[in-house]
Chain A
């Protein structure tokens, strides 16, 4: 009896399903037929079609000051060559030698004969330096993290990111099409609250990939991230961490291995470390470091890695040469930290500027005090200060943000980079000129 029942119900269901399939097929076929192109364009519509030009309004682009070599004829505290590798003659000689061996361009992506032995050497050396299993080298700093994020995070995943992350990270998050939750800058309480909330609402669950993205030293604020707490939260809520160490590798830690070394966080707690060759190493490019399991994936999935020509060999060689120097002279890091500290002290004594940045951070942001102005006027004000300083032989950088494209656009500021070349006299002069510039531009 029971068996018969089952057969009965089964057959009944079979009929229902069969009917559904037939209806589905019929619907599919009908809609396909009606999908046949139906032209609606009339002459009138074509006459009324008045496309707008690509760029409607006049755009004013401030002409940047043309520079020579870094520090040529002036003191450059805007460029981020923290260790002064731009002035190392041996780096230049090795790069030139490499140029006369390989030519300038690599003429192909890594997959198609764009892998030159120097790339492999740099990857190996970086891995050894950072004490990780593997690294992969990108040909542009911006594209490194912007490609690394969408290689792992996809549509449907969830990303927790600091609200002050720099633009490349924002674009990487955009490209990944994941859900993103921004937490307040360096505010672990806020992050914890948001994680708790997400866990409660089942936004965080074991089926959904979740990532935590932060910068070791924030490019937009100069502050350091509380990595230990981040790691703790990430382990508790099962998030993978992508850490942008662009500014911290070569500037923090005993050997310059970055924030992980500085805070003594085991490197395998961080799933992916992203670094840049454009700051401390004074070359071009970027790299990702981590375990073989993580990094190898980018060689097939990192868009900026697969689909772009590889880094010109001479610039790769320059990075290797820079690494040689860094390994031979780890005391450079201590020197840099000292300068950064001195700068911080000097800047906190300024009358007309407030400073943002960690004591040891090589990047400091200066915000003019008592200036209540709309964004554009403030930018102009800062550019006037920049001009005043340039005129007196100091190049400072006014942060360039694209206001409409930034997630929450940071306050305009002067970005000052610490570097080993700065001595006390430089710092005094810099402070003096900044104060005078403020007064001059204010009047």
Chain B
């Protein structure tokens, strides 16, 4: 079609220079030029529809998903009012401005690089400015040292600063707080009890570490047992375990995904997933958090491009900063319709979600086989360390053979293995299911009461991660300080872990919390909400 038009154009040019032949030729061509496009197009389509009837049907757009039939609720994400947003930004700029003035007037009390004159600056100046003058002001609420088990309660080592958070010193005092900050969802972080005893026995039996990688001399029967138990626990064929949760994603994904793969990744995916995808060198497209409609559009576009061997959707079960749960049944329906593959990171959900503690798969009642790759960590619900990748046997073999951790990283410590095994067995026992139920009840109770206070809470009803929005940086710090003073240890999260104007307090619930402890926390939260004016919810 285009070629005819171009040809027509050429002739038209020629007709100007030549005289005679051009008359008829030119006329013909101008006709073509005027309506050639339409005509040609028309003829073409006519020609095609003349072939087989269903061929025309084949050119029709493929039907879309019928989302009305499925639950695609992305989690509650109430928007803040314009005023709040403006004030938050203004507050941040004010902080930065004051920092700027500060920087002009005083030399910062920080170490500088020695003997590196003439070298390119090691750090990005803005980053440095941010960490010195914005982050430093709230530095005391992060990295707080503890000196006890991170169980239902923890003991904080109190720190004080004499120079506006440039440096800290220990006061020697300790403070017992209710722990709403650690990922101890099922309460298996305990210094005594079955799990700790199993860990001790394993350490004595196999030593503290193997000083070798799994593929060399670092495999013990304990590792094998853990892999078999994990696979059985999740209801899949096989599993492989790693010594560090972060490394599970960062080093495991490159073993699975490679050239020809397109990854559709949720915008709130964890840093380890992003790093893993980067190391795997796959093409990545990002969709808005839990937005199934956009995911469908991206998938359709990608299929229409006809250049991908496979399309993999990478999502998390429970998002640790948003408190939302992935709408898995909708995702599985989408995956089946378009032939996508699914990589599910259950770091925060395995153990903590579902009636039997098997993660979001269990929570939504999806068959484990419908998810291609199940990944999770042992750091959270199991009170240990490390992670696993589970799925079909062939896939797990690929992670062993091509993933980086199995060949190069040292094997998981035997004591950690034993702790996971004991915790996993405990979850499968009736008492374990009681723990899971207690966590769910605690979560619902806590979320209900928080909402009744009129604060903005993100995420799903059942997610044990409960983010309470405070928007501004300073309020985040003030809230954490005041809650600590009232005996509640919790976590504030701000930029860069969240968007600039969406600082939040994150509560992590645990089955180890008693109702009385939670109510004490909620009373403390209520007081702080009253004091700082954190009722941002528009409708209670």
The interface of chain A, by Cβ under 8 A from chain B, is: 37, 39-55, 58-62, 64-70, 76, 78-81, 86, 91-92, 95-96, 99-108, 110-117, 119-120, 133, 139-143, 146, 152, 154, 166-168, 171, 174-175, 177, 205-210, 238, 240, 268, 271, 278-279, 282-284, 291-294, 296-297, 299-301, 303-304, 306-309, 311-312, 314-315, 318, 395, 397-402, 404-405, 415
Contacts and interface: CB of A to CB of B under 8 A. Distances in A.
A234 B244 CA distance: 34
A189 B50 CA distance: 73
Contacts of A105: 188-189, 378-379, 382-385, 416, 419
Contact of B303 (A46, A58, A133): A46
A284 B489 CA distance: 28
A140 B244 contact: yes
Contacts of B413: 283-284, 312, 315
Given A240-B119, A308-B244, A133 B111 contact: yes
A52 B147 CA distance: 51
A39 B61 contact: yes
A205 B489 CA distance: 48
A101 B149 contact: yes
Contacts of B438: none
Given A91-B208, A107-B150, A293-B113, A44 B214 contact: no
A103 B190 contact: yes
A314 B415 contact: yes
A301 B122 CA distance: 13
B378 to A, nearest CB: 8
A320 B343 CA distance: 39
Contacts of A397: 212, 216-217
Contacts of A42: 58-62, 304
Closest 4 CB pairs of A and B: A308-B246, A140-B244, A44-B58, A142-B409
Contacts of A294: 113, 122
A107 B379 contact: yes
A301 B208 CA distance: 30
Q: Which has the most chain B C-beta neighbours within 10 Å: A41, A119, A175, A210?
A: A41
B199 A104 contact: yes
A92 B118 contact: no
Given A51-B339, A240-B119, A308-B245, A113 B489 contact: yes
Contact of A143 (B217, B250, B300, B372): B250
Given A100-B196, A105-B189, A293-B112, A53 B203 contact: no
B110 interface: yes
Contacts of A168: 408
A142 B191 contact: no
Contacts of B59: 42-44
A308 B382 CA distance: 15
B233 interface: no
B189 A103 contact: yes
Given A42-B62, A54-B341, A66-B220, A103 B244 contact: no
B219 A67 contact: yes
B92 to A, nearest CB: 18
> Considering residues B150, B154, B208, B303, which has the most beta carbons from chain A within 10 angstroms of its beta carbon?
B208
Nearest to B407: A400
A55 B343 CA distance: 13
Interface in B132-156: 135, 142-151, 154
B395 A103 contact: no
A108 B182 contact: yes
B309 A52 contact: yes
A331 B212 CA distance: 25
B309 A51 contact: yes
B286 interface: no
B123 A117 contact: no
Size band of the interface chain B makes with A: 35 or more
Contacts of B63: 43
A103 B196 contact: yes
Contacts of A154: 124
Contacts of B120: 205-210, 238
Interface stretch (B17-25, B358-366, B398-406): B398-406
Contact of A284 (B62, B246, B410): B410
Contact of B145 (A52, A99, A117): A117
A102 B208 contact: no
A142 B111 contact: no
19 contacts: A43-B59, A45-B303, A52-B260, A55-B394, A81-B211, A86-B208, A99-B203, A103-B196, A108-B181, A113-B150, A113-B489, A115-B143, A167-B404, A206-B119, A282-B207, A299-B143, A308-B244, A312-B384, A402-B408
Contacts of A297: 122-123
B388 to A, nearest CB: 15
B247 A143 contact: yes
B302 to A, nearest CB: 9
A300 B497 CA distance: 11
Given A39-B61, A92-B208, A105-B385, 13 more contacts: A43-B63, A54-B341, A59-B394, A61-B401, A64-B218, A69-B207, A95-B415, A103-B191, A111-B491, A143-B247, A209-B121, A283-B413, A405-B402
A54 to B, nearest CB: 6
A99 B154 contact: no
A174 B281 CA distance: 9
A46 B196 CA distance: 53
Nearest to B257: A54
Interface string B37-73: 0000000000000000000011111110000000000
B341 A140 contact: no
Given A86-B209, A112-B491, A113-B146, A143 B246 contact: yes
Contacts of A91: 208
Contacts of A177: 278
Contacts of B309: 51-52
Contacts of A268: 114-115
Contact of A117 (B157, B308, B402): B157
Interface core residue of A79, A80, A119, A177 (most chain B CB under 10 Å): A79
Contacts of A104: 189, 195-196, 199, 383-385, 415-416, 419
B398 A55 contact: yes
Contact of B147 (A96, A117, A152, A405): A117
A64 B151 contact: no
Given A44-B59, A92-B203, A107 B409 contact: no
A79 B123 CA distance: 38
A37 B298 CA distance: 10
A278 B410 contact: yes
Interface stretch (B6-14, B83-91, B268-276, B326-334): B268-276
Contacts of A400: 213, 215-216, 407-408
B243 interface: yes
Contacts of B189: 103-105, 107
Contacts of A111: 142-143, 491
B122 A152 contact: yes
A293 B179 CA distance: 33
B306 interface: yes
Contacts of B489: 113
A425 B190 CA distance: 46
B259 to A, nearest CB: 11
Contacts of B199: 99, 104, 314
A43 B220 contact: no
Q: Find the residue from B116, B272, B378, B379 having the highest chain A CB count within 10 A.
A: B379
A76 B218 CA distance: 11
A79 B131 CA distance: 41
Q: Which of B127, B135, B309, B408 has the most CB of A within 10 A?
A: B408
B453 interface: no
A47 B221 CA distance: 47
